[in-house]
């Protein structure tokens, strides 16, 4: 499975030192710094922080399933 930019950056943050809220904040920081770009259907880069926060929260909440899909976590 190929990793997208969000997964590649997200995985580097999973060192056990951050809870879900801290992971979302780190992803927001990466987006502010231009290291993560989320694009809308028309190719416009998403910059609205409230929307980014919602997207990143959903992403972090879904990480256990994503890790299992990527075969990086054992199935329960």
- Which residue range(s) make up the domain with 50? 5-69
17 in any annotated domain: yes
52 in any annotated domain: yes
74 in any annotated domain: no
pLDDT above 90 for 44: no
Spatial distance between the Cα atoms of 1 and 43, rounded to a whole number of angstroms: 23
63 in any annotated domain: yes
Phi then psi dihedrals of residue 48, to 5 deg:
-65, 115
Residues 6+ apart with CB under 8 A from 67: 73
65 in any annotated domain: yes
60 in any annotated domain: yes
DSSP 75: -
Phi then psi dihedrals of residue 7, to 5 deg:
-65, -40
Q: How many domains are there within the chain? A: 1
Q: State the pLDDT at residue 1.
A: 41
Average pLDDT, the chain: 85
Share of the chain above pLDDT 90, in %: 41
pTM greater than the 0.75 cutoff: yes
């Amino acid at each position: 499975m190929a990793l997208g930019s969000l997964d590649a950056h997200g995985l580097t943050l999973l060192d056990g030192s951050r809870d879900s809220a801290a992971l979302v904040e780190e992803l927001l920081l990466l987006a502010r710094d231009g290291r993560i770009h989320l694009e809308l259907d028309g190719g416009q880069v998403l910059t609205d922080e409230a929307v980014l926060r919602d997207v990143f929260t959903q992403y972090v909440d879904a990480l256990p399933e994503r890790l299992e899909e990527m075969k990086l976590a054992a199935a329960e």
